[in-house]
Amino acid sequence: MVLRMIGGIALACAVALPMAGCGDDDKPDPKVAWAAKVCDGVKRNTKKVQAPSLDPRSAKKSRTAILTFLGDMNSQLSAQATSLSSAGSPPVGDTAYRTALANLSQVRTELTTVSASLEKAKVTDMKSLTRTLSSYSAKMSGFGAYQGPAKELRANADLNAAFGETPQCNGVGV
């Protein structure tokens, strides 16, 4: 009699637990959890960067504004790299992740190079500033075309879907 009761309880539990939602289906999708972590980090560490305000009467003020802008951009890219690194490799392979980190690093290196060169350049008037900046025009246009790590990460179909499913990613450039 006791064995029948235990058997009946076990059978009832076996049927009731999955219906109650207590099975493994409640575990969050690791891809979505990873995407949420990335988007939370990007939101927390990214601020809007103002374009430089140039003063046509002062080449030195204009250069300072450009250097400030480049420094702010570099800081934002650094924050994105830190957020991405702290999230770790995604659970669906790391090719897109490694590409995103490599491109962030490359753009940051180029920004640093342009900033250092602009800092050292002899700028006495707007003409000399324009001449100095024109030597960096190819690199600077590359900065404008860079879309951040979103493009590389979304190249992975699984990550692209995870970013779409994650509420934390709404309104984030990922």
pLDDT recorded at residue 43: 82
Exposed, middle or buried, 41 (CB in 10 Å: 0-12/13-18/19+)?
buried
Query: What is the C-alpha to C-alpha distance for residues 108 and 83, in angstroms, rounded to an integer?
Result: 15
Four-CA torsion 133, 135, 140, 142, nearest 10 degrees: 170
pLDDT profile of the chain (174 residues), mean per 10: 37 38 65 92 80 90 93 90 92 92 92 91 90 82 78 91 90 71
pLDDT recorded at residue 12: 38
Pick from 104, 98, 97: nearest CA to 34:
97
pLDDT recorded at residue 20: 40
